[in-house]
Structure 1
Amino acid sequence: METPKSQQEKPLPPSLASCRKNKKDDATFLEDLKDHIDEFINASMEEHKTCFKKSMQKMFRMSKVVAERSSATQEVESSLPLRTTVAE
């Protein structure tokens, strides 16, 4: 069964490529927070979906890298022989 074209994924326009559109480098923390909240409130549902998908993909990529690093370090394991001496 074929899905209609409106339900198929379409390439996203460049304006939806980033979650933050207007981040100012010289803004104070409160100004940046206010701008971020305004962007969030005024974003379309499509922008929210895109940002959520990108965030999840980034998290899974990062967790995969961490898992690969930890498995590589676990392969190298050494142990010293146990010596016991009995004093008489």
Structure 2
Amino acid sequence: MTTEQTQLPSVPPPAMESCRKKKTDNATFLQDVKDHIDEFLDASMDEHKTCFKKTISKMFGMSKIVAERNAAENKGVESSLPLRTVVSD
């Protein structure tokens, strides 16, 4: 009995949406900040929890993607220095 393992090509997860909803695209910076603060204060605890979980999973997902990309780029490359066995004065 033989078992075969097939590797599926790694597909990056889809970009996650922001928890924040912009009211207007052409708002000034101060209007945007005010809207963001109002939205934060008016959000329920469940909305805060959901947004926090999304943000944390997004951060860890990105760090995993970056680590995998770096590992793939550095695969097969190894750096070594000669070993010195004699200490000179």
TM-score range, shorter chain: 0.5 to 0.7
* Structure with more helix by fraction: 1
**TM-score normalised by structure 1 residue count:** 0.63
Deviant stretches of 4+, over 4 Å: none
Give the equivalent residue in structure 1 for 2:32: 32
> Offset at 1:21?
2.8
Q: Which residue of 2 aligns with 1:5?
A: none
CA RMSD in angstroms comes to 2.0
Q: 1:24-68: per-residue Cα shift (whole Å, max 9, x none)? A: 211111110110011001110000000000101111111110000
Task: Report 1 or 2 for greater relative contact order, CA contacts < 8 Å, sequence distance ≥ 6.
Answer: 2
Structure 1: unaligned runs, 5 residues or longer: 1-16, 80-88
The percentage of aligned residue pairs carrying the same residue is 65
**Separation in structure 2 between the aligned mates of residue 68 and residue 47 of structure 1, nearest angstrom:** 31
* Cα distance in 2, alignment partners of residues 48 and 73 from structure 1: 37
Size of the alignment, in residue pairs?
Answer: 63
Q: Mark the runs of 5 or more structure 2 residues left unpaired by the alignment.
A: 1-16, 80-89
Pairs within 5 Å for 1:41-80: 41-77=41-77
